[in-house]
Amino acid sequence: MKIKILLFGQLRSTIGRNSIVLGLTGSEYNVQEIKELVYRDFPDIKKEIFRVVVNQEICDDNHMIKEGDEIAFLPPVSGGADSYIARKKISPEYIKRVSNSNDSDCGSVLTFIGRIRKDVSPKDGETHIEKIEYSVYEEMAEKEIHRIVESAKNKFKVADIIVKHRIGIVKVGEVAFFVAVFSSHRKEGIHAIDFIIDEVKTKVPIWKKEIYSDGKEYWQDGFIIK
């Protein structure tokens, strides 16, 4: 059988491609066996930390792979009109329109606007970030953000939540991450917005590559690619 493995984040730089195709002689392989075959052909990936996702579900090494399964290797994490993933700029006009939404039952509208900062490189103290490139496993990211939003609504009893996260190239000063929480009172809104930010940053499969003024690029964990 033939299987295709999708690669994301720094794994793409390590391997130098977006995916791997394995032609297998047998019909039954588990996740660990697939990983060993990849290590054989691409030994550099063995140094990386990653999770294996099959059909958008995280799987252990004993999970059996079937022909036609969607397989992805995801490094650690640091759509439609209702999509959480945004390819275009999150504009001031959009943020203003969301913030000014009229709902007589909501006495509190809290927003978080995460912009790209012009941080100086900790490696030389001179160069600075010019832009960040975000890559994403989109289908899984949409599902995970939806889970986080629904969990926050139930946990904190807020009326509505809007989340937008940019992907692709985002320049210094542009908005990369936007959250709005609508609630009857501010306290539940504050708790909800903190929960959402922390959950998205640690659990959603989105990775960022920092691009500096000298042309060097680093994944957030410090992995340099040029």
Task: State the pTM of this model.
Answer: 0.72
CATH class of 2-74: alpha beta
| Residue 86, strand partner residues | 166
pLDDT at 78: 57
Quick one: 85-219 is in which CATH superfamily? Molybdopterin biosynthesis MoaE subunit (3.90.1170.40)
Task: Give the helix/strand (H/E) hosting 163.
Answer: strand 160-166
**Per mean pLDDT, which range of 64-68, 121-125, 137-141 is the poorest?**
121-125
| pLDDT tens digits along 127-185 | 999 999 999 998 899 999 999 999 999 999 999 999 999 999 999 999 999 999 999 99
Distance CA 91, CA 82 (A): 16
| Residue 111, strand partner residues | 180
**79 CB contacts (<8 Å, ≥6 apart)?**
85, 138, 142
pLDDT band for 226, please (50, 70, 90 cuts): very low
pLDDT at 199: 96
| pLDDT tens digits along 17-58 | 999 999 888 888 999 999 999 999 999 998 888 889 999 888
Could you tell me the residue ranges of all domains in the chain? 2-74, 85-219
